[in-house]
Structure 1
Amino acid sequence: MTRSLEPMLDFFLREKGELVHINGMRQLALIQDATNTIQMTDEKIIRAATPLHTGDIVDYRYERYLITSQVDQNEQSCRGRMKKCNQRLAINWNGQVKWFDAVVEARTFSTETGKVISMPEGNILASLQDNADTRNIALNQRFYITHQPFKIVGMDRILNGIIQLSCTLDNINTAYDDVENNIVDRWKYEIAHTYALHIHQGTIAHVRLNETMPLNVTATDNGDELANPAITYTSSDPSVISVDQDGQVMGIVLGQASITAKLTYHPTVLSTIEIRVVETGTHIYSIAITGNPILKTGQSASYVSHIYDHGTEVFDQSVEWSLRNQDDSTPIMGSITASTGNSVTIKAGSSSGVNNKALILDATLVSDPSIMIEKTISLKNLF
């Protein structure tokens, strides 16, 4: 876009602009591939009518970018160059772990000579947003990238808004490092975690054409529900069904696609549901189970299924109940002792060995067995 087109920016943003998030705020922006492809990372030019700053984080087409250039600002717009964040770094401060999106390069571009500079083997340069958290990063701190440890040996703030870390390959600490999940010194400060993630609409759900539906998702750690877990959602076919990062799915055209929810910082922990787009007017049933999520050994609790048709509770449908161990082991660590209508009573086993394990209570719609829901019931010792 040339400067002569500045007065037409509003028109171009309306007609050609794409929705992005800049530091978490929704904005319209014009995005194009950078003509200079000498950099190793995916690089693009962003232009917006709202202010841009070096170090801003831009979410664009399910990818995260960092504005790495000085921003060119005119009366009508701001323009900058951004690189895709190709790594997430976990920095551990005495047991407090924080994750940072970063642009990591094994070679970089010299503004003085105009040439690519290859860094020594085993060395990398990591660029992060300069903020209150990253300012606490110190020399000699370690982090992992793809199961390889690096140590920070240099820090630079040449560009306002960006901190650059010069890092060299380090040694794995087999006693404390969580190599699988790329977290240094994890086991020095905490016990091992067992994460699980559940989509409570079951394995199949329906959404009406051009309408939205929220996914009901919870995450647990050692059987205890996590508050405000970071979850990443993706659609196997966004042209049929879209999903945003709040778990709102929308039916675009008639058809079906799979929606996958992953724990953002533990992407191997995931759950998938098939969503089918149906015509307006079609029944869309869903089920919710209410009841205590924790059951102590030897005790009983009642659970009730509530059936909804496109969000409105109905009372002419019924469910069938089943119970299983969360890890699918046998024997089952509890039992269904009573079932009346759409309510059920569950009794936990009396063995103390079930502590911190969990049962899964399933409710399946009798008129459409593809509609089901599960509830995780954590088991705890009585004393």
Structure 2
Amino acid sequence: MTRSLEPMLDFFLREKGELVHINGMRQLALIQDATNTIQMTDEKIIRAATPLHTGDIVDYRYERYLITSQVDRNEKSCRGRMKKCNQRLALNWDGQVKWFDAVVEARTFSTETGKVISIPEGSILASLQDKADTKGITLSQRFYITHQPFKIVGIDRTMNGIIQLSCTLDSINTAYDDVEHNIADRWKYEIAHTYALHINHGTIAHVPLNETIPLNVTATDNGNEIANPPITYTSSDPSVISVDQQGQVMGIALGQASITAKLTYHPTVLSTIEMRVVETGTHNYSIAIIGNSILKTGQSASYVSHTYDHGVEVFDQSVEWSLRNQDDSTPIMGSITASTGNSVTVKSGRSSGANNKVLVLTATLASDPSMTIEKTISLKNLF
């Protein structure tokens, strides 16, 4: 007399079952491959002591599965067939975006072994758990898979627990679709962000050996500065220059390395600077002049110098100012009317010869006359 396999399987379920999550609830289940051959879809058989239903979501070994078959039941356990969810779909309802785990196939198989139900080229079949959030899915709704847009052309709810979407390739809407993040119509309801990041130390900066300097970094969104942006810093050679996550750079050994700053949540937005470690006690000054590069004839404008040592602004240095015509001609088409050491007022001449002339304003470091910076100022008529 042949013994039934069911009691044996139930014994293995109790003794050899693995912990899974079924619709978020922790359960004990016995999992086995559905076939002995390798297939495009990862399909498994699940047996559990608790009730199973078509459309249940099963989390197993860090993967998510959808029960796609009818469920067999005996007195002590349930059995069903499940497929791994290979895509996440973002569906957009007037700005409310919801994500769904789905089994997406370019073709589907019937219950008859080897029989293939054909789907037109460029079309897919997406199977989702049928729940409250899927009730609002409509024909012509769009979504993205791997940066390709699809449109829903058919909806099948005849299988209790599962909704199947027949979809065809659609065209990209460059004005509204967030193609990078696979969200259709995102910018129709949200503001598109344009992020930028800049390290404000020029192209190369210096840090003294065994000392630290702070990086001056500015982040903007659509041109507006972001307050306290989360930034991730890295060094190309931490054995030469180290950097912490507050942007404090330290010189470890004489040499050179690059420091990269990235927006933490948008890592493609970044800025890089070359930094050189120099002997402690040496200075490396640089000067910047801030002010308008265009000056109307007969009018005055103020200019301010900023002095940096190893890329860090210092306030114990002053500059001397001078003014000349760019072509070195005379008379000079402007004059310095006031100077305080780190700021200066320049007045343009009124004569007709001043129009379209270019002045050169020079700042020379008082403590080191070899360190100078020039700023060109174009003169234009008032009218």
TM-score (norm 2): 0.52
CA distance in 1, matches of 2:141, 2:3: 45
CA distance in 2, matches of 1:108, 1:6: 30
Report how far residue 109 of structure 1 moved.
1.3
Contact 1:39/1:108, CA 8 A, preserved across alignment? no
Note closer, same or farther for the CA distance 1:173–1:356 as it changes in structure 2 (3 Å cut): farther
Aligned match of 2:200:
330
Q: How does 1:231-310 map to 2 (within 5 A)?
A: none
Contact 2:108/2:116, CA 8 A, preserved across alignment? yes
Matched, 1:108 2:74: no
Structure 2 gap segments, 5+ residues each: 203-215, 234-241, 248-262, 265-383
Contact 1:46/1:81, CA 8 A, preserved across alignment? yes
Aligned match of 1:139:
139
Contact 1:6/1:76, CA 8 A, preserved across alignment? no
Report how far residue 28 of structure 1 moved.
1.3
Note closer, same or farther for the CA distance 1:95–1:157 as it changes in structure 2 (3 Å cut): same
Aligned residue pair count: 228
Aligned match of 2:362:
none
Alignment-mate amino acid for residue 47 of structure 2: R
Note closer, same or farther for the CA distance 1:192–1:34 as it changes in structure 2 (3 Å cut): same
Contact 1:9/1:76, CA 8 A, preserved across alignment? no
Report how far residue 18 of structure 1 moved.
1.4
Matched, 1:188 2:185: no
Equivalent position SS for 2:132 = coil
Deviations 1:269-322 (A, max 9, x none): xxxxxxxxxxxxxxxxxxxxxxxxxxxxxxxxxxxxxxxxxxxxxxxxxxxxxx
Matched, 1:354 2:225: yes
Note closer, same or farther for the CA distance 1:360–1:185 as it changes in structure 2 (3 Å cut): closer
Report how far residue 21 of structure 1 moved.
0.8
CA distance in 2, matches of 1:58, 1:181: 25
Q: How does 1:29-178 map to 2 (within 5 A)?
A: 29-35=29-35, 40-111=40-111, 115-178=115-178
Report how far residue 36 of structure 1 moved.
7.5
Structure 1 gap segments, 5+ residues each: 195-221, 223-325, 333-346, 363-369, 378-383
Contact 1:95/1:186, CA 8 A, preserved across alignment? yes
Task: Give runs of ≥4 in structure 1 deviating > 6 Å.
Answer: 372-377
Aligned match of 2:292:
none
CA distance in 2, matches of 1:131, 1:172: 29
TM-score (norm 1): 0.52
CA distance in 2, matches of 1:184, 1:91: 7
CA distance in 1, matches of 2:225, 2:176: 28
Identity %: 80
CA distance in 1, matches of 2:12, 2:70: 23
Cα RMSD, aligned residues only: 3.8
Alignment-mate amino acid for residue 129 of structure 2: Q
Greater displacement, 109-118 / 126-135: 109-118
Alignment-mate amino acid for residue 181 of structure 2: N
Structure 1 or 2, whichever has the larger Rg, is 2
CA distance in 2, matches of 1:360, 1:107: 45
